[in-house]
A and B are shown apart, each in its own frame.
Chain A
Amino acid sequence: MIVPYALEISVVCVGIFLLMVDAFLKTDKTTIAWTGVVVLLAIFGLTFALGPMPKGVIPEGFYVLDPTSLFFKRFLLLATVLTLILSVDYSPVYQKFVPAASPQAGLGEFFTLPVFACAGMMFMVSANDFIMIFVALELVTIAFYVLVASMRKNQGSLEAGVKYLILGALSTGFLVYGITWLYGITGYTSLEGIQSVLPRVPEQYQPSVLFGLGLVLVALGFKVAAVPFQFWVPDVYQGAPTPVTAYLSVASKAAGFVVLLRVLEPFVTTPAFQVKVFGILTILAAVTLVLGNLAAMSQQNLKRLLAYSSIAHAGYLLVAVASLSAPGARVAIGFYLGGYLVMTFLAFLVLLNVAKASGGDDIRDFNGLGKRSPVLALGLLIAMLSLAGLPFTIGFLGKFFIFEAALASGQYVLVVLGAITVACGFYYYLKVVMAMYWQPAAPSATSIQVSPFGHFLIGLLVLAIILFGIFPQPLLGALTHL
């Protein structure tokens, strides 16, 4: 019989093993990343041997292995693999900004920390107890503090690190304070316990429960980059090493949403709290949608634009969270995040390659990319169209499922806002397309060489975007039990 947390244990072991390799390896450090990729892919394969387990099997009750958590564990493993591949591509840039105590100093940690963050997030998606959520979250956040600030000679990276650290610590404070309120009233830290007590909470304590939940929502809002807790996002995304940005924007957001869904579960199924909680969520979704999209329109830097777009996508996901009363909402969230993984990593892959060659990630650095490197341009074109939500891409279907759920649960205001913000989205995503195909390249710009493996990866991601955009059934089939 397999131990329930076998997956997390093996990922942690991989991390420790890679650190050992780093200590003794004298030659090329990228071997560490490739080893990580291979082993994590093997663990990804192992997840299919492991079925969901009924609740009784794990007596402690702080950990669940249901279809949701299993799906997102696979999701996180894939995201980590893609991050490691991107990190290898990024290592020459990374080297420039790290004090060279020895050749390739710092690379070992740069390749290993994402693995530990992955283990933390895999615990997060299974956590069914506030203590577990808190511990897993800290494991993730500490790994990210180091990763974000690791380019020590780069001012942007240091600034990002400080911002992320201070606001991260603040949000942790909110989380713990919220947990104590909820514990104080219900007497439980486990979500199941809270669920059993909630219907019996006397009316005079209900505001206190909502206050506690509100504090927890603040902390989770920080994780998923929801407005008004988004202030750290643009600077941190811009300053952090590009693979870390991609990782932060995909994996951290997904894990945050899973925790959000789990924490909300007791509250949205209890009639006394339902209406108020959905009200809070609706407001949160509305401001996130509007602010994320409007702020993205004026951006001139692609990394910053993707940061605001990540806020905007958090807005669409929150629309689905606010529509949880509709049967399709959970599937919609899972599908949207799946699509978001593919298109975001594709965008960052191209961004990374272009920035490496031209030394900047402003939109004008992409001028004439259609001529300079047709494959990269095509990849970014598909990524942008999918992020904007054009049909026959996975991004469109994600939006479609979310708005189907929103209409089914009667969230008409959010749908109207969504219609307007989708049009805004077309504006700022097509701005990048415009630069690539309309503007002439700068005279100094050269054509960009991409390795065959890079071509293969771009092709694979493009194929995933289009195939799942036409026939989403395989992905939906994996999500039906959510």
Chain B
Amino acid sequence: MNLLLASILIPVLAAILVIAGFNARRTAIFAAALNFLLTLVIVGQFKQDGGYQFLLSVPAVPALGIKFSLGVDGLGVAMLFLSTAVTLAAIAIARPPKANVSWFYASLLFISAGAVGAFVSVDAFFYYMFHELALVPTFLLIGIWGSGDRQTAAWKITVYLAFGSFVLLVGLIGLYLSLPAGSRTWDFRELAQAARIGTLAPAPWVYLTLFFGFGILVSLFPFHTWAPQAYASAPSPAAMLHAGVLKKFGLYGLLRLVTPIFPPAITEPFNNLLLVLLLGNILYVGLVTISQRKLDLMLGYSSVMHMGYIFLGILSWTTIGLAGAALMLVAHGLSIAALFALSGELRERTGTLKFSELGGLARTMPKFGLLFGFAAMASIGLPGFANFAGELMVFFGGFSAGKPVVGLNNFQIATAIAVWGVVISAVYMLRAYRRVFFGPPLERWKDLPEISTHAKICVVGLLILLLIFGFAPQLLVKFVLPAIVQP
């Protein structure tokens, strides 16, 4: 059995078993752990510069060249690793809800299956389909088990993402039709090959449609408004899976389908527009983040803000910038998952995440405070965490991008502005940290229980991964590099 197919089928089968009546929590954790182990096996067997591996291909619609093909290269392995690691943490930390336990776990497993399926697909069509598969479980998770104004949030994210994915689909079809009839394909490898030898000549509108389609899914400014509210309302494992893994789908698509395919002649005219938008992500959304008064909304906005850096790395079109973007994909996924896990635990204990009602929690729950501190530092991008390495590479990439001019070119100006985003992140994270954990301890939070063992294990696991990739980014970069650098 193909290992990649197995890693898609394990969560699906587990979801079916859960619905059929097996013990939901145990089955789900077992499946997630099994899938993580399977990923480790795949990582172990993976040959670093062997291109796509673990291939499987079944024709689905021969008339349109659509094949159900699986396979991973270095970037795919990295994303697979991120998906299964965050899935394991999210499912292990999830608290079974009062009602509909089986549907809750089945939905989480379906999101995981969608994410894994998207990242191991080599065929653009199935890559798209797998991502869409995760839309309905997200809708159900937020709508049924969410908090706050959950129904509005669920509607907003679903309609927004349905629209975004359709824009993306139009772009994908446009790309497909740009190939001469007879050699049309959805295969990533063949598309890149066709672009290299010049038979693929897409029109500029295809580039824009793809960029904005992916952009809506990744909350590119000004299409970001669905994200913070949805993440704030979602139950924490759903927020971990969506913000940590599923949202990376769009950025992964940009690295996969846009960078290797569109020549600079098409992309350059739009660079200034896109630079302005990504600065909107970093500066405008960053300032909005500072003004938040609730921890979960603040984390939601911060996750939107960090997308700006990754966009910058991708747009810079330089090896180091692209590698930095890929590193940040993983780093941000792990750190935001840890933060959402902790904020979910906090909400379970206090019932509120408003800064005005919290304070001094470090005294009652020192270990919780310590872990949150670590995760917050990682998110800011402190040296030692993978986020730092990623951001640094992105800034290097951004500064060396563009045409040399007298003085600074637009990329260098944008990068110089974007660096201030680090300061903004430090401001909102440290402010939030101070207001929640320091200050005079409030009487009503005197008896809060300390973080539970299994939650601790999950968060510590995510933080350890962040530290490993922070001290040795080369571990990831050497996987990713052959995949994103043009031979």
Which positions in A face B, CB cutoff 8 Å? 328, 331, 385, 388, 390-392, 396-397, 400-401, 403-404, 407-408, 415, 418-420, 422-427, 430, 433-434, 437-438, 470-473, 476, 480
Contacts and interface: CB of A to CB of B under 8 A. Distances in A.
A336 to B, nearest CB: 14
A404 B140 CA distance: 30
B173 A404 contact: yes
A438 B151 contact: yes
Interface in B123-155: 128-130, 132-133, 135-136, 139-140, 143-144, 151, 155
B169 interface: yes
Nearest to B62: A473
B457 interface: no
A362 B64 CA distance: 41
B158 interface: yes
Given A396-B129, A419-B166, A434-B143, A470 B174 contact: no
Contacts of A434: 143, 151
Contact of A423 (B64, B103, B159): B159
B61 A473 contact: yes
B63 interface: yes
B274 interface: no
B170 interface: yes
Given A407-B174, A422-B163, A476-B61, A400 B169 contact: yes
A397 B60 CA distance: 12
B234 to A, nearest CB: 15
A391 B173 contact: no
Given A423-B159, A426-B159, A434-B143, A403 B136 contact: no
B62 A403 contact: no
A296 to B, nearest CB: 14
Given A404-B64, A472-B60, A390 B170 contact: no
A94 B398 CA distance: 71
B212 to A, nearest CB: 11
Contacts of A403: 169-170, 173
Given A391-B132, A396-B132, A418-B166, 17 more contacts: A390-B135, A391-B130, A400-B173, A407-B177, A419-B170, A422-B163, A422-B166, A426-B158, A426-B159, A426-B162, A427-B158, A433-B140, A437-B103, A437-B144, A470-B68, A471-B60, A472-B61
B167 interface: yes
Contacts of B128: 391
A72 B109 CA distance: 40
Contacts of B155: 427, 430
Contacts of A419: 163, 166-167, 170
Q: For chain B, what secondary structure do more than half of its interface residues adopt (helix, strand, loop), or is it mixed? A: helix
B436 to A, nearest CB: 31
Nearest to A326: B177
Given A427-B159, A472-B60, A438 B144 contact: yes
Q: Which 8 A-B pairs have the closest CB atoms?
A: A391-B129, A423-B163, A426-B162, A391-B132, A419-B166, A423-B162, A422-B166, A423-B159
B69 to A, nearest CB: 14
B63 A476 contact: yes
A209 B68 CA distance: 48
Nearest to B64: A404
Interface string B20-64: 000000000000000000000000000000000000000111111
A402 B63 CA distance: 14
Q: For chain A, what secondary structure do more than half of its interface residues adopt (helix, strand, loop), or is it mixed? A: helix
A391 B133 contact: yes
A480 B63 contact: yes
B140 to A, nearest CB: 6
A470 B63 contact: no
A390 B162 CA distance: 9
Contacts of A472: 60-61
Contacts of B68: 470
Nearest to A426: B162
Contacts, number: 84
25 contacts: A390-B135, A391-B129, A392-B129, A392-B133, A396-B132, A401-B64, A403-B169, A404-B173, A404-B177, A407-B170, A407-B174, A415-B170, A418-B166, A419-B167, A423-B159, A423-B162, A424-B159, A426-B162, A427-B158, A437-B103, A438-B143, A470-B60, A471-B60, A472-B61, A480-B63
A404 B175 CA distance: 11
Given A403-B169, A403-B170, A438-B143, A473 B60 contact: yes
A392 B170 CA distance: 18
A391 B161 CA distance: 13
Nearest to A421: B166
B220 to A, nearest CB: 17
Contacts of A422: 162-163, 166
Contacts of A397: 61
Contacts of A433: 136, 139-140
Contacts of B159: 423-424, 426-427
Interface string B349-368: 00000000000000000000
A426 B160 CA distance: 10
B277 to A, nearest CB: 20
B177 A408 contact: yes
Contacts of A480: 63
Contacts of A470: 60, 68
Nearest to B166: A419
A45 B129 CA distance: 35
Nearest to B170: A415
A476 B68 CA distance: 17
A437 to B, nearest CB: 6
Interface in B48-97: 59-64, 68
B62 A385 contact: no
Which of A385, A418, A425, A434: most chain B CB closer than 10 A? Answer: A434
Contacts of B151: 434, 438
B132 A390 contact: yes
A334 to B, nearest CB: 13
A273 to B, nearest CB: 26
Interface in B181-213: none
B5 to A, nearest CB: 13
Nearest to A419: B166
Nearest to A407: B173
A392 B169 CA distance: 14
A175 B483 CA distance: 62
Nearest to B143: A438
Nearest to A477: B63
A388 B162 CA distance: 10
Contacts of A408: 177
B275 to A, nearest CB: 26
A373 to B, nearest CB: 15
A365 to B, nearest CB: 20
B191 to A, nearest CB: 16
A405 B304 CA distance: 35
A423 B164 CA distance: 9
Contacts of B130: 391
B158 A430 contact: yes
A303 to B, nearest CB: 23
A193 to B, nearest CB: 34
Nearest to B176: A404
Nearest to B60: A471
Contacts of A407: 170, 173-174, 177
B106 to A, nearest CB: 12
